[in-house]
Structure 1
């Protein structure tokens, strides 16, 4: 469970008993093979229901299903799918958590919040950018959004809850904070600006409940919804501390790229670097088709809690953003809060992705490459910060 007061929060991967994710795909397939397989996967709901399986969810844009079943029944189902030339992977459905951490004291020679803008906006160059993300749809899949927050009056906001028994209103705070950083106001008449892509269209998908947790079913539903709405950027500040790449997010990340979207996710807060533990990139950020984001403090040093690259394909930190003592929007009368985590770094990168998408017209893989290419290089190991500090596009030449 998400508890923002606990330093160096760990979010261990917890399987849900009797629930499985069926991935009708494989990591080795090419894009053209994947498209053909997706057409055959359209038969999946009928196959499952005709054979007596309890189908919980099916996501047609992803070719992924969630079922309730005994493990031995699914072994038989895999064999039948193989005979139909429809390779299927079966993995337990897992629980994920919002990711935040407590900051450590920082030196004084650093970026600082001002009355006009947060240190994060200054560090990524958003304060000087002529781009606002206008015309770009940014989906933030998290704990929902405070739909009545006064700073977002007049903004285009589409919201939907995928958490049973809860509407899209944020009963936690984490989602409103992340949306504020990615898409909130860059300037305020009576306060501090804190949002990178202040002109973007906001898609607030509630995939984590008021307790800060959600499962593969809710997260995949949110991704499928974002793709249905043609969101060019999908931001996910959530994760589980599992070193193995989780197959559903290999498929989901690749399908998103095929459809013109880029998924950006938090690398994880499982490090305790001051105690010699560099941590590791967890799921879903360790998918090779999902951009993993590490966190920097206001001196542009790696945050103590920020996870390090794992050996092997998919486990790397791809880029970094401001993630320590980040001021942003918060639900209710409080209106604002300052918290830390790779969760806070991720929406900085998502916001910059929206600015670059507006400035260049790039989408998906090209947008990924542009984010990496334009990042500010740091005198730090790439296993910790990837390409460096994400940067807004410079002003266009006169």
Structure 2
């Protein structure tokens, strides 16, 4: 339960202090050449500080434009391609040669190279077993166990799914889903992979979903290949902060990536806006979830996966930063191949939306559940203890349980 007792453990990587004007060493995934995320100091959050930095970039570009780089080419100049509205930062492209000058600006806190994050799933094809399991303290003894859930079923709650987009016309969503924003260049806002539709179906589909009446907003930050640039994922989080006021909200991010300061800061901002964030624990057997920029953050709620036999899925990430275990192997849900299509997938990507859906149900039942710490606490306090078998390697043995009252 890293958001309460394990703060120090969860933040071994994430909470290191960043000095002003520091270049954050690239640690996550594949770097995006020439592309950087610039975060300004909190003291520069006012329009004047933002404008000063934008003016400086323009000055550098004017000064260096046309300067010969070599007999066969010309010098690249930096340009701002994206400004975050709520996170006090920018995305700079073609910035390699001017990094030191940009780092020297008084308003700059740090600069981190853009990199690729990815979805956390693999695919297989048997039927799902998960919904009956999360309403029982012990595995069901027969195949006819119904899924019984509190009647509000997530009504009045909005779930943001940051993923590959959603096939919103799928019959599973009954008109309750829409795509709100797209941060993947060259692709439509709809789901060209299937991962996002599957996740959304598990969270809130009429047949496959935990919270069958929740409203769902897709935020596309991963491409059809399941890869997303860090800068685009941050833009999606920034957009949610802008769109969420006035709603009762949960966020699902079935995305994995290692240490990133800008991701850590973005999760902090979501938490400061009282937005609970449910994340995949990761699908790497030798990977301590505390090393993940999402799964290791003390303000996120990380989910590990088990199978139909209550066995720990040993090929997934582990450790004390996993907050809860949920069904994640051979999970049937909606697919993007048609409005009636379905598929089965495995991964902590599939486990996280079970927990996010349960959170939506609890919030719809209890209007006093408003803050992330309350919602996370409800999930851990009601969890089934010590039922998952296998080598959990320090993972808390807490399994998702959807209480009926």
- Summarize the alignment of residues 234-383 of structure 1 with structure 2, pairs less than 5 Å apart: 234-240=251-257, 242=258, 245-271=259-285, 277=286, 280=289, 281-309=291-319, 316-333=321-338, 335-360=341-366, 361-362=368-369, 363-379=371-387
In 1, Cα distance between equivalents of 2:177 and 2:191 = 17
User: Of 109, 134, 157, which aligns to 1:88?
Assistant: 109
Match of 2:237 in 1: 223
Structure 2 residue 204 is the aligned partner of structure 1 residue 196: no
Structure 1 position 65, deviation (Å): 2.3
- Summarize the alignment of residues 93-242 of structure 1 with structure 2, pairs less than 5 Å apart: 93-101=114-122, 118-125=128-135, 127-185=148-206, 193-230=207-244, 232-240=249-257, 242=258
Match of 1:47 in 2: 52
In 2, Cα distance between equivalents of 1:320 and 1:41 = 42
2:79–2:94 Cα contact (<8 Å) kept: yes
In 2, Cα distance between equivalents of 1:70 and 1:151 = 45
In 1, Cα distance between equivalents of 2:84 and 2:307 = 38
Query: So what's the TM-score if we normalise by structure 2?
Result: 0.76
In 1, Cα distance between equivalents of 2:87 and 2:344 = 35
Deviations 1:82-134 (A, max 9, x none): xxxx5612211110111113579xxxxxxx96xxxx42111222633333111
Query: So what's the TM-score if we normalise by structure 1?
Result: 0.77
Identify unmatched segments of 5+ residues in structure 1. Answer: 1-11, 26-36, 105-111, 186-192, 272-276, 311-315
Identify unmatched segments of 5+ residues in structure 2. Answer: 1-27, 58-77, 136-146
Match of 1:31 in 2: none
Deviations 1:246-281 (A, max 9, x none): 11122111111111201111111111xxxxx46545
Deviations 1:2-49 (A, max 9, x none): xxxxxxxxxx71111111122336xxxxxxxxxxx2772544542232
Q: Which has the higher strand share?
A: 2
Match of 1:274 in 2: none
2:168–2:175 Cα contact (<8 Å) kept: no
Largest Rg, 1 or 2:
2
In 2, Cα distance between equivalents of 1:138 and 1:150 = 18
Aligned-partner SS, 1:332? coil
Structure 1 position 285, deviation (Å): 2.2
CA RMSD of aligned residues (A): 2.7
